[in-house]
Structure 1
Amino acid sequence: MRYAAAQSASVPLDIAANVKRHLAFIDAASEAGVQLLVFPELSLSGYELPGMAACALKADDDRLAPLRERAACANMTVVVGAPLANAGALPGIGAITLHPDGRTSVYRKHFLHAGEEQHVTAGSAISQLHDVRGTKVALAICADTGQQQHAHAAAVAGAELYVAGSLISAGGYDKDTGQLAGYAKLFGMGVLMANHAHASGGYESAGRSAIWACGGELVIAAPGPGEMLAIADDNGGRIVALA
């Protein structure tokens, strides 16, 4: 399987503008033969916690229709980051998976950063797995990856690839990616981290989205901030810049 981290930039709280940009990434990934594409945390809204509730989405939201259609057209599994509506409660930080057969599934961030609980509700499920072209893929969102038990649960469930949409600053990059490389080595599964291309919600992203092979070897990493795809398969990795 060929898979990629979409290092995208987000317009604050503008779902329509971000959907349009996501479509450009899906098209570029399709041209590169990508079969699994993963976007950063809250890629459809930006990391705008105070305003999330106003633009929260449901899995079957009409605003996602262009993404569902493009994923199906490209025969691609696409994981986008989004604020999730939560009836009568604070929204969740979610990963919405758009499957090539038209199905949509939702994972909610299980482990929250300090302070996030003021704006969002944590998800109850610690792990979610999808079969993508015969590969078992587990989902994570940013702070999830800071807890080894999250990656361990994915491995116990049979994950072969652990993918995370994140927002990681330069100051936290070495620690966070060191943990991710460690999971690849400890649990014998590939690891992908998709980071924001630029600042979001007042946090300056380091960029440098990365993919590690089973065993912890770095396959590919984006050179820094900016919009691009970090792509990997059995033959190695490459970077594709987006205009």
Structure 2
Amino acid sequence: MAVTTCQARLVQLAPRLGAVAANLHRHLEAAERAASEGVELVVFPELSLTGYFLRDLVPEVALRLDSAHFAELLDLSRKIHLVFGFVEESDAFELHCSAAYLAEGELKHLHRKLYLPTYGMFDEARYFSAGSCLQSFPTPWGPAGLVICEDLWHPSVPYVLSRQGMDLLIGIAASPFRGVEPGGPDIGQSYELMLGAYAELFQCHVLFCNRVGCEDGISFWGGSRAISPLEGEIAVAPVFDETHLDVVLERSHLRRARFATPLLADERPELLRRALEKMSHE
């Protein structure tokens, strides 16, 4: 049976570009402090061990899952569940923008970013290989889904995770501040609307951890947040500031939301399956 509450902390930090050892030290300090304060799950942003605009540094900062740095985080996970972002070097020498969920001294789940933005200021497909697997995984608080930034902009991703029983959606990001136009929404407002819709439609809790800081003249806006399917946003971090956000996720919110509006129970995935099969043969 799933635990009824989750004490979570979102660590909204500004990693130093390419400085893996220094960033690792900050992760260890922050997670140790969180564990000592009764936090059960600590979440760091996308590429939190390396910084974002790495370009040709990508191979130099990549970590293998059997590396010494990874082992330090695994050891710490005996005290607290943790999520962080890093550049992963696979056994096939492919480089992925990855997120790890560690607990009890083990790698419980690895997610490789599925959608690599390569437009505007983004050039990820030049440096990374895209992931090819999407799967929920067990936690003490029910099945969770772990995704990275651009993955969130494709609603098929949370839909699939929802059909796999997801109770908690964890999204980590390195989202730059952009899109401010007269009369139009900025990127923070877009995330607010999108994540709120996911929490309501897929009737799950949402944890979103975005980084801050500046690289190559580009600022990252932060605005990390937690969203309940019953109450909407329950906590939001300031924009642009390094900080942490503590939240308590109540499992009872899932029950009440799903009983009040049985969207998940009434969902008919066979309709989508038939439509996709028909499209594939046209």
**TM-score when scaled to structure 1?**
0.88
After superposition, give the CA deviation of every residue in 1:72-110 in whole Å (9 maximum; x if it has no partner). Answer: 1x2x21111000103555411000221124345421001
After superposition, give the CA deviation of every residue in 1:35-94 in whole Å (9 maximum; x if it has no partner). Answer: 11111000000103311111111122111222222221x2x2111100010355541100
2:206 is matched with which residue?
191
1:208 is matched with which residue?
223
**Distance (Å, rounded) in 2 between the aligned partners of 1:101 and 1:136:** 19
- 1:110 corresponds, among 101, 104, 114, to 114
1:6 is matched with which residue?
11
- 1:225 corresponds, among 240, 249, 257, to 240
Give yes or no for contact 2:84–2:99 (8 Å, CA) kept in 1.
yes
1:16 is matched with which residue?
21
- The residue correspondences of 1:88-167 to structure 2 (distance < 5 A) are 90-103=94-107, 105-114=109-118, 115-125=123-133, 127-167=134-174
Give yes or no for contact 1:59–1:96 (8 Å, CA) kept in 2.
no
Paired AA for residue 197 in structure 1: V
Query: CA shift at 1:117, angstroms?
Result: 0.7
Give yes or no for contact 1:49–1:116 (8 Å, CA) kept in 2.
no
1:77 is matched with which residue?
81
Paired AA for residue 52 in structure 2: Y
1:43 is the counterpart of 2:58? no
Tell me the percent identity.
25
1:180 is matched with which residue?
195
In structure 2, the gaps of 5 or more residues are 1-5, 179-186, 251-282
- 1:65 corresponds, among 57, 60, 71, to 71
Give yes or no for contact 2:212–2:219 (8 Å, CA) kept in 1.
no
Label 1:234 to 1:176 Cα distance change in 2 as closer, same or farther (>3 A). Answer: closer
1:33 is matched with which residue?
38
Query: CA shift at 1:177, angstroms?
Result: 2.6
Paired AA for residue 83 in structure 2: V
Query: CA shift at 1:200, angstroms?
Result: 4.0
**Distance (Å, rounded) in 2 between the aligned partners of 1:211 and 1:154:** 18
Give yes or no for contact 2:177–2:218 (8 Å, CA) kept in 1.
no
**TM-score when scaled to structure 2?**
0.77
Give yes or no for contact 1:184–1:216 (8 Å, CA) kept in 2.
no
Give yes or no for contact 2:116–2:150 (8 Å, CA) kept in 1.
yes
Query: CA shift at 1:130, angstroms?
Result: 2.7
**Distance (Å, rounded) in 2 between the aligned partners of 1:122 and 1:206:** 25
Query: CA shift at 1:119, angstroms?
Result: 0.8
Root mean square deviation of aligned Cα: 1.8
**Distance (Å, rounded) in 2 between the aligned partners of 1:60 and 1:35:** 25
Paired AA for residue 117 in structure 1: A
In structure 1, the gaps of 5 or more residues are 236-243
Q: 1:131 aligns to what SS in structure 2?
A: coil
Q: 2:71 aligns to what SS in structure 1?
A: helix
